[in-house]
Chains A and B, each alone.
Chain A
Amino acid sequence: MVNHYEQLDRTFAALVDPTRRAILARLEREDGASVSELARPFAIKLPAVMKHLDVLDDAGLITRSKAGRTVTVRLSPGPMREAMDWLRRYERFWSGSLDRLAAYAESKEAEARKSGR
C-alpha cells in the first residue's frame, strides 16, 4: 500500500502539469466525460491526452470506466481532498504566524519612528 505521504507527492506531482489541472477542473464541473470530450479543448493529439489520463489514474485522481466503445472519465475526489487538507494545515500554521509577524514588525516600526530613524 502506498503510504500517505507518497500519495501526497503523487497527487502534487500529477497536479504540476497545466493540461492535467485543466482536465481535473473540468471533471470537477461535470460529472464524467468521455476521453474525446476531454481532448477537444486541447491542441494536443489523443494519445497525448491518454498519457495525461494515465498519470492521473496512477495518482488515483480519476477513474475510467468502459461502456461499449466509450470510456467515461470521472474525478476521484479522495486524493485531492487529502492534498487540500495538507495545504489547509499549513494555511492554519502560517496564517496565525504571519498575523503575529505583522503585529511584531509594526511595533518595531513604531519604535524606529519614535527614535527618529
Chain B
Amino acid sequence: MTSLTIVRRIAARPSIVFDALTTPEGIACWWGPDGGPVLLAETDPRVGGRFRIRFRTLDGSEHESSGEYLEVVRPERLAMSWRWVGGEDPGESLVEIDLRAIAEGTKLTFTHSRLYDEETRRSHEAGWNGALDKLERHFLASSNGDRHDQA
C-alpha cells in the first residue's frame, strides 16, 4: 500500500510504447492528468540522465516535475526518481514502468511509490509487493466507501 500500481494493455509494440514514454515529442502528446498542454519536455533516457517536464492543467495552473533515470532497458523497463519542482510535495518518489510483449501489443505495468530510499529498495527486493497490493486494494476500497459517504 506504499505504492500505486496501474496496468494498461496497449495495442502497440513495446518499442513504440517505450519511445512514447521517453521522447519529448511523445511526452508532449500525453503527459498530464487532464489533457492540458505540455509546455516543456526534456529527456536524457540513459542511466544517470535527467528529465524535466512542465505542463499546464485545464484549471490554468502550471506544474513541473523532474528526476533522474535509474534504469533504462529499451524496450522493457524504465525506472526514475520523481520530484515536483516548486512548492508542491517536496518528497522524492520512485516511478517504475515495465513493458511486456503480449499478443495484442504491450502490457504496461506502472508503479509510483513514495519513500525512495534504501529501505524501500530492500523491501522491493524482498518481494512483498503481492501482499502489499492486496492490502492496498483493501484500504482503497474502504476509503472509497468513505468518500461516497461524504458525497
Contacts and interface: CB of A to CB of B under 8 A. Distances in A.
Given A13-B119, A98-B110, A109-B16, A84 B33 contact: no
A10 to B, nearest CB: 10
A103 interface: yes
A12 B114 contact: yes
A102 B119 contact: no
Given A5-B91, A96-B32, A106-B12, A21 B1 contact: yes
B11 A106 contact: yes
Interface string B88-103: 0111000000000000
Nearest to B63: A93
A15 B132 CA distance: 9
B40 interface: no
A87 B135 contact: no
Interface in A24-57: 25, 28
Interface residues of A, number: 38
A42 to B, nearest CB: 14
B142 interface: yes
Contact of B119 (A16, A18, A90, A103): A16
Contacts of B29: 100, 104
Nearest to A112: B16
B10 A106 contact: yes
Interface string B19-49: 1110000100111111100000000000000
B8 A98 contact: yes
Contact of B132 (A21, A101, A105): A21
A81 interface: yes
A87 B31 contact: no
Given A9-B91, A105-B16, A21 B105 contact: no
B73 interface: no
B120 A5 contact: no
Given A12-B115, A21-B131, A84 B12 contact: no
Contact of A28 (B8, B32, B138): B138
A86 B114 contact: yes
Interface in A62-113: 80-81, 83-84, 86-88, 90-106, 108-109, 112
Interface of B: 1-4, 6, 8, 10-13, 16-17, 19-21, 26, 29-35, 89-91, 105-106, 108, 110, 112, 114-115, 119-120, 123, 128, 131-132, 135-136, 138-140, 142-143, 146
11 contacts: A9-B91, A86-B89, A90-B112, A97-B31, A97-B33, A98-B6, A101-B10, A104-B30, A108-B16, A108-B19, A112-B13
